[in-house]
């Protein structure tokens, strides 16, 4: 019985298979007959009308339509579609062929896909609506309401077999793809921007999952704002596995040539070569031998990346070969950077290892070359928090070489502006330019960093500094210079500072401690001022607020104390001024014209109150040879001028010159000296003998001498009177009165 059932079942299956085969054969015969008998060109009007009734497109099938069965193919020629009465799409020729038998095997194979002369016109109106969004006509409001369900029907969940089917590897081959002379034009009426993608050509062959195939691409781009043209070519070998989870690009070679307004007539070339692989399942990607060349700069990198989320792991290397910044700017059509030294910016290079995990990117070891300066250390950046960390050490850097050239001698910016105003009769633009903010506060509030920097030698504003150590931090607008230490001019300095930019009025604090710094070479290199020499010790604490230089200077408030040991006041000889005064007291004359232009001292000290642009000093004192200096005065930092009243108290022998001899009459006398004028001028003319105040000195001396003489004479009279008296009180008193009258006559 079971055997009979099995026999009947097999017989039924055979009939079913023969029936299915017969149906397939009939279907094939029907398709063959249809393709052979039916001419698709006869149905052009119906096709055009159907498209017009369902869209806003006006379709015109101007050329012939052809089709075939072996392979299944469709050919369209001269197709045009207008949108709202304006050209939208044009196609010269479209050919698409699929192998018939590959469809039966459920492994479709495209024999040829060819698109020639595509021309698309895309645009946005002034309201920002793109014309491509208007292809399909909107349904009437009433129809929409009727068609809109009150509640969305639940979507059926796919069954397990469907999921399994969806996960099957892709079986799709393409023998040849060719796109030639394609054009896409885009215009934005609101911004006036226009972009044209033209001469787009693409070829690829033997495209199949799991196999490597060649790809070639070229195109031209025209951009209106700014006016710029780009020509690009690309060739590579491309691989994609059947699951579309693994990809590889090898033998990559890309060339881009750009020209236009941004490059001021220059043509700029860029090249990219190398290989890229990616595995989506493992979330891994690799860059191998990637090299980018732009003008004269060459960047090379290789890297392995794991994890495509916001916390990728990366390991690799990056290098920029030595290049000239000046040549790069010239190749890009940009103006050269004007510097005091034309030989700088001709050698820049970088080399580093790249590593990171959990969103942290590290460059270590990091090596940067800038001309004859070299920096080594590490850099770090956190992709999540934006935290920047740096620890670098450099051998040397001359900042002055990179500064803009100085103005011609005697021609300052203010002088040039004044001359321009006087010649034109109106203020120059520079004179009317408002002062700008010093720092971008919004940017500072976003910074989060911790930077350490060491530098062996630094030249800045002609100052020579060595053994520099800097540590600075920043967090949400609070910038702290925790240390700025170094050595300069046989001494050392230590500075700390802070900037609180969390409010609209940033506040600044500065503490400076100088020890044993030689002032003469410092002032000479800094401001070409030879005012004082010696080893200075200085402590200063200053506070201010604002975000403009003028405001910072006006709001400055603080105090500084200083002392200078074993030095001299340069360009002036206060001893000579004292001797000139002593010679007058001695009713003599002295020639100090050939005396040296300096005043040696053992110790010069004082305190300075800082009030805006004014430094106020009330306790200046110094020990000179035979003199004690005291004085007070102010320094105007805005005008770089001083105004001091000095007094030179005679305390001992000053000079061997007879006219400058010190006797008891002169001992303790204060010789007045006046110092005023510009600090940037000739310091020899700053100080001079103060004739006006010297008159007061003479009056004081005369009064003192009179008192001394009167006292001595009175004493003599008293002694004489006592000797002549006969004992009578009345006679003695009368005799003394008469003698005093004679004395004061």
Q: Give the DSSP per-residue string, 414-428.
A: HHHHHHHHHHHSS--
Q: What pTM value is reported for the model?
A: 0.73
Burial 86-115 (b: 16+ CB within 10 A, else e): eebbbbbbbbbbbbbebeeeeeebbbbbbb
Over its C-alpha atoms, the chain yields an Rg (Å, rounded) of: 47
Neighbours of 47 (CB within 10 A): 13
Residue 668: which of 652, 657, 655, 646 has the closest Cα?
Answer: 652
Alpha helices (runs of H) in 542-676, residue ranges in sequence order: 549-554, 574-585
What is the SS3 assignment for 445?
helix
Neighbours of 32 (CB within 10 A): 13
Q: Do you know the residue count of the chain?
A: 745
Alpha helices (runs of H) in 555-673, residue ranges in sequence order: 574-585
Which residue matches tokens 């040829």? 112
Report the C-alpha dihedral over residues 707, 713, 714, 715, rounded to 10 degrees.
110
- Whether 156 shows a pLDDT value over 50: the answer reads no
Q: What was the pLDDT predicted at 582?
A: 83
Per mean pLDDT, which range of 335-344, 496-505, 670-679 is the poorest?
A: 670-679
Report the C-alpha dihedral over residues 522, 525, 529, 535, rounded to 10 degrees.
10
How far apart (Å, rounded) are the C-alpha atoms in residues 432 and 423?
A: 16
Q: What was the pLDDT predicted at 158?
A: 45
φ, ψ of residue 468 to 5 degrees: the values are: -80, 135
Which residue matches tokens 């001269």? 78
Which residue matches tokens 């001022």? 529
Q: What was the pLDDT predicted at 384?
A: 82
> What does the block give as tokens for 28?
């094939």
What is the SS3 assignment for 39?
coil
How far apart (Å, rounded) are the C-alpha atoms in residues 565 and 574?
A: 17
Residue 82: which of 119, 112, 110, 45 has the closest Cα?
Answer: 119
On the 0-12 / 13-18 / 19+ scale of CB atoms within 10 A, 5 is exposed
How far apart (Å, rounded) are the C-alpha atoms in residues 735 and 725?
A: 9
Q: pLDDT tens for residues 649-704? A: 888 888 888 888 888 877 888 888 888 988 877 767 788 877 777 666 655 555 55
Alpha helices (runs of H) in 441-513, residue ranges in sequence order: 441-446
- For the segment 282-308, the average pLDDT, to the nearest whole number, is 93
| Under 8 Å between Cβ of 80 and 90 | yes
> What does the block give as tokens for 615?
């430094």
Q: What is the 3-state secondary structure (H, E, C) of 307-370?
A: CCCCCCEEEEEEEEEEECHHHHHHHCCCCCCCCCCCCCCCCEEEEEEEEEECCEEEEEEEEEEE
Q: Given pLDDT bands bounded at 50, 70 and 90, which one contains residue 185? A: very high
> What does the block give as tokens for 636?
């105007």
Q: Which residues contact 46 (CB under 8 A, 6 or more apart)?
A: none
Q: Which residues contact 180 (CB under 8 A, 6 or more apart)?
A: 114, 115, 116, 117, 201
How far apart (Å, rounded) are the C-alpha atoms in residues 662 and 579?
A: 10
Q: What was the pLDDT predicted at 344?
A: 96
Sign of CA dihedral 704, 709, 711, 712: positive
What is the SS3 assignment for 594?
coil
Residues facing residue 238 across a β-bridge: 213, 249
Q: pLDDT tens for residues 122-155? A: 999 999 898 888 887 665 544 444 444 444 444 4
How far apart (Å, rounded) are the C-alpha atoms in residues 615 and 704?
A: 37
Task: With residue 732 as reference, give the H or E element that holds it.
Answer: helix 729-744
Domain residue limits, the chain: 38-128+171-225, 503-689, 704-744
Instruction: Pick the more confident residue, 23 or 650.
Output: 650
- For the segment 272-278, the average pLDDT, to the nearest whole number, is 95
Hey, what long-range contacts does 257-263 have (CB within 8 A, 24 or more apart)?
257/230, 257/231, 257/232, 258/228, 258/229, 258/230, 258/231, 259/228, 259/229, 260/223, 260/226, 260/227, 260/228, 260/229, 261/226, 261/227, 261/228, 262/226, 262/228, 262/333, 263/228, 263/332, 263/333, 263/334
Q: Give the DSSP per-residue string, 91-158.
A: EEEEEEEE-HHHHHTT--EEEEEEEES-EEEEEE-TT--BGGGGSBPPPPHHHHHHHS-SSPPPPPPP
Residues facing residue 68 across a β-bridge: 73
On the 0-12 / 13-18 / 19+ scale of CB atoms within 10 A, 54 is exposed
Per mean pLDDT, which range of 83-87, 108-112, 291-295, 384-388 is the poorest?
A: 108-112
Q: pLDDT tens for residues 704-731? A: 555 555 555 555 655 665 555 555 555 5
% residues pLDDT > 90 (the chain): 45
- Whether 238 shows a pLDDT value over 60: the answer reads yes
Q: pLDDT tens for residues 552-572? A: 999 999 999 999 999 998 888
* pLDDT averaged over every residue in the chain: 82
Q: What was the pLDDT predicted at 419?
A: 43
Q: pLDDT tens for residues 400-431? A: 999 999 875 544 444 444 444 444 444 444 44
């Amino acid at each position: 019985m079971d055997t009979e059932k099995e026999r009947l079942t097999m017989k039924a299956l055979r009939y079913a298979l023969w029936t299915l085969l017969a149906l397939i054969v009939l279907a094939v015969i029907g398709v063959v007959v249809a393709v052979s008998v039916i001419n698709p060109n006869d149905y052009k009007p119906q096709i055009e009308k159907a498209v017009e009734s369902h869209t806003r497109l006006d379709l015109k099938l101007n050329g012939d339509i052809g089709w075939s069965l072996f392979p299944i193919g469709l050919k369209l020629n001269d197709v045009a579609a207008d949108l709202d009465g304006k050209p939208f799409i044009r196609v010269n020729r479209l050919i698409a062929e699929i192998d018939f038998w590959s469809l039966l095997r459920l492994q479709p194979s495209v024999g040829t896909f060819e698109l020639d002369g595509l021309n698309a016109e895309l645009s946005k109106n002034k309201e920002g609506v793109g014309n491509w969004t208007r292809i399909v006509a909107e349904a009437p409001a009433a129809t929409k309401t009727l068609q809109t369900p009150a509640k969305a029907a639940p979507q059926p969940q796919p069954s397990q077999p469907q999921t399994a089917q969806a996960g099957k590897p892709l079986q799709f081959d393409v023998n040849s793809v060719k796109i030639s002379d394609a054009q896409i034009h885009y215009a934005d009426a609101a911004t006036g921007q226009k972009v044209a993608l033209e001469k787009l050509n693409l070829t690829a062959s033997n495209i199949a999952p799991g196999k490597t195939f060649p790809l070639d691409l070229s195109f031209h781009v025209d951009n209106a704002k700014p006016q710029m043209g780009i020509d690009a070519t690309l060739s590579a070998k491309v691989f994609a596995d059947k699951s579309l989870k693994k990809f590889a690009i090898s033998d990559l070679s890309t060339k881009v040539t750009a020209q236009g307004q941004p490059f001021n007539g220059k043509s700029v070339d860029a090249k990219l070569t190398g290989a890229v692989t990616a595995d989506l399942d493992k979330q891994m990607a690799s860059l191998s031998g990637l090299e980018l060349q732009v003008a004269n700069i060459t960047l090379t990198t290789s890297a392995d990346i794991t994890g495509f989320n916001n916390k990728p792991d990366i390991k690799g290397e990056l290098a920029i070969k030595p290049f000239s910044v000046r040549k790069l700017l010239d190749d890009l059509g940009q103006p050269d950077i004007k510097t005091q030294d034309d030989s700088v910016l001709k050698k820049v290079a970088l080399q580093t290892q790249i590593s990171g995990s959990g969103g942290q990117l590290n460059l270590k070891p990091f090596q940067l070359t800038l001309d004859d300066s070299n920096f080594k250390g590490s850099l770090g950046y956190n992709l999540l928090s934006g935290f920047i960390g740096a620890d670098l050490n450099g051998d040397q850097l001359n900042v002055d070489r990179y500064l803009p050239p100085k103005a011609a001698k005697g021609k300052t910016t203010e002088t040039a502006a004044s001359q321009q105003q006087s010649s034109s009769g109106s203020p120059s633009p520079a004179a009317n330019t408002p002062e700008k903010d010093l720092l971008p506060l919004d940017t500072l509030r976003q910074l989060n960093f911790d930077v350490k920097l060491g530098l062996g030698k630094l030249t800045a504003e002609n100052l020579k500094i060595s053994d520099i150590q800097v540590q600075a931090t920043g967090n949400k607008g609070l910038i702290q210079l925790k240390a700025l230490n170094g050595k300069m001019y046989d001494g050392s300095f230590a500075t700390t500072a802070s900037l609180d930019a969390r409010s609209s009025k940033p506040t600044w604090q500065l503490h400076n401690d100088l020890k044993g710094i030689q002032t003469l070479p410092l002032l000479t290199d800094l401001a070409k001022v030879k005012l004082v020499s010696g080893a200075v010790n200085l402590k200063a604490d200053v506070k201010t607020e604002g975000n403009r230089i003028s405001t910072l200077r006006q709001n400055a408030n603080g105090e500084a104390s200083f002392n200078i040991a074993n030095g001299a006041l340069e360009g002036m000889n206060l001893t000579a001024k004292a001797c000139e005064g002593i010679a007058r007291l001695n009713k003599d004359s002295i020639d100090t014209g050939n005396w040296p232009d300096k005043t040696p001292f053992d110790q010069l000290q004082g305190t300075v109150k800082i009030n805006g642009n004014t430094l106020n000093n009330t306790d200046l004192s110094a020990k000179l040879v035979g003199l004690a200096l005291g004085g007070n005065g102010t320094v105007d930092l805005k005008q770089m001028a001083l105004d001091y009243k000095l007094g030179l108290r005679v305390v001992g022998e000053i000079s061997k010159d007879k006219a400058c001899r010190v006797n008891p009459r002169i001992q303790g006398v204060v010789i007045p000296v006046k110092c005023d004028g510009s600090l940037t001028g000739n310091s020899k003319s700053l100080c001079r003998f103060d004739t006006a105040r010297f008159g007061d000195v003479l009056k004081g001396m005369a009064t003192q001498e009179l008192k001394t003489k009167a006292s001595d004479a009175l004493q003599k009279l008293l002694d004489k009177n006592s000797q002549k008296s006969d004992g009578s009180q009345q006679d003695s008193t009368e005799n003394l009165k008469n003698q005093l009258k004679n004395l004061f006559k």
